Amino acid sequence: MTFHLLSVAVALLFAVELSAEESRGAHADSLAVGTMIEHSFVPRDAIEQPFLAPVWVIVDAPTASGGRGDVRIPAFHDGEGIWRIRYTPLTPGCHRVVRYLLGEDAATADVLDAATDSPREYEVAPGPFRAFPRPSEETVQQFVFNDGTPYFPIGHNAGWSSVDGYEKMFRAMHDAGLNWSRVWMPHWSGQSLDWVMGKQLARGELDLGAARRMDRIIALAWENGLQIQLVLQHHGQFSTFVNPTWDAHPWNAANGGWLEKPSQFFTDPESIRLTRAKYRYIVARWGYSPAIMAWELFNEVQYTDGYQGEEALALWTEAQSTNLLSLADVSKLMAKARNLPATPESEGPSSWQRLVDAWNRKTQHLEPQWDYGLGRHTVGEWHRGMARYLRALDPYPRMITTSCPPIDSPVWDEMDFYQVHLYEREMIAPMVNLPGGLAAYDKPVFIAEMGDHEIDDPLKDDGRHMHGMMWAGLFSGASGAAQVWAWDQARRHNWYPAFRAMTRFAAAAKLAERRYVPAPPLTYQSGDATGDIACFALESEGAFIFWLYDKASISTPEPASHEGRVLLPARFAERGDLTVTWWDTRSGKVLARAAMPQGTPPELPTPLFCGDVAAIIEESE
């Protein structure tokens, strides 16, 4: 579905391209590569329905090869008849605003007459600039910035908060050495452009209050060195069975909208038209920002009615009607989704588990799990169309992703990287061994959400569960760390020293620069034969890193101390002189450092450690 020119606006278009003489005579501002230019203008004649109008600004800019070329920048309406572009120059030299256009395709759009008090010419100085990460062309599980510098995402989610909350949270993340986060645009926090609580928006209208809040949030991310995934939609908006908010959605026909059921979001022409208009506005207003690592089309789209399809939803309803649960219980369960307290084992399986078991029995002939919805192909087509639309709009080489069905789902076809969300009772093994195995992923992948929702422990707020999960995530060989979901707990209970310890180790191990791959598990031998110690390892051409973890430490506030030895692969005896550095995973400090001269037997004694310990083995300097 494409936009049509507004008939009234078309009739009013009379404009002139700015001449080279006018451009050269305009005021010049001096700035550096990577610094945002904000250029404002006012069309001579007001544009009706400005949030739906496709307006462009053409900038004549120097190219990387030394020539010049036109850059098409989508413009956005900012109220009171004012339009703006935000433009981040990537090359030094003179950047000139040469014309304004109205039309879906900038190549054929009509020229728009407009007045401006902004400069039309900007002299951009050279300077270092690192942003817009992309998949490496040399190795699958690696991101690199525009200047070729490797990037390893490590952080936590920050789905929604007040602006003041983001300011404090992003500063704490920065101080802990984190460089990644994930921000949603939900209505309940005032971050949605087209759904505002307590306010009725006209069809096609977007909320400028929400836009200005997002301005500050995105600016705060960049100020604090964060790359964010901006999540454009979330599953609950169009779901009747997982975290559903469909009953309150303004597009729901029951609320005066036009959609009879949530699955129509992916196919209805009006929904697609308005969604594209919103995405165009998002790219125009925030696409300039080097803080936005990727547009994330959907959070957990597999939980939408549209993805499941009519057959799967009918089976789900049938499962709900079993005698295992009352309909009232089902309603409560679905509203709470993952966050249910588990029933003690003495009382048998939890209500949630009974519902899942019933669902699995009804759908066991439909494999693989979560990919039995007939609607997945329709939703895949929606993803393809929206991804191509965003790429055509965005003047920058920005990635696009979604979350989080199986990797053979058609929703991934046009995505630049995969992400996995993990909430399991036993979390360490899935963190290290990604679903399907790392070799199954033909694009970068990392765990973008993980949590301990399924673990029963009233004391887990101290972060001990997260500690093990975070460190296990470092040893998966994925393109990024395992990212904590519970940002509210991280802030409330101050998990940032734990994050700081992890980022110090990641920097020392050079997880971004070195091409680590999973190594065979090592054997740990304890002198006192206590504890069930797991060992996970990664190797690269220049280093070998591993993590020893007492499995019992997840369930006790005072884990046992251990001292033993690690049996390394025999080839270590044949390598040159090596150095082993042992790291305290809680303080992020070096516990011990020892030389391993060539010919040393491949048996490595450990220092005394409590709960877990990590090590880096590398060539001696």
What pLDDT digit, counting tens, does each position of 368-408 carry? Answer: 333 344 578 899 999 999 999 999 999 999 999 999 778 88
> 129: Cβ–Cβ under 8 A, 6 or more apart, which residues?
32, 33, 34, 90, 146, 147, 290
CA distance linking residue 232 with residue 191, whole number of Å = 10
Mean pLDDT score, 449-476: 81
Strands of 564-567's sheet, edge to edge? Answer: 523-526, 564-567, 603-605
Residue 25 pLDDT greater than 70, yes or no: no
Backbone φ, ψ for residue 523 (5° rounding)? -105, 130
Q: How buried is residue 131: exposed, middle or buried, by Cβ count under 10 Å (0-12/13-18/19+)?
A: buried
CA distance linking residue 567 with residue 526, whole number of Å = 11
Closest CA to 530 of 564, 567, 566, 568: 564
The confidence band for 361, taking pLDDT boundaries of 50, 70 and 90, is low
Residue 586 pLDDT greater than 60, yes or no: yes
pTM attached to this predicted model: 0.87
CA distance linking residue 616 with residue 511, whole number of Å = 11
Residues 109, 101 contacting (CB under 8 angstroms):
yes
Q: How buried is residue 155: exposed, middle or buried, by Cβ count under 10 Å (0-12/13-18/19+)?
A: buried
> 487: Cβ–Cβ under 8 A, 6 or more apart, which residues?
156, 157, 158, 159, 161, 169
> 526: Cβ–Cβ under 8 A, 6 or more apart, which residues?
533, 562, 563, 564
Closest CA to 526 of 561, 551, 554: 561
- pLDDT tens track for 401-448: 999 778 889 999 999 999 999 987 777 888 888 888 999 999 999 999
Work out the percent of the chain whose per-residue pLDDT is above 70. 82
Question: For 559, which DSSP code?
Answer: P
A 10 A CB-CB count for 79 gives 10
DSSP per-residue string spanning 496-530: HHHHHHHHHHHHHHTTTTS--EEEPPPEEEESS--
Mean pLDDT score, 9-29: 32
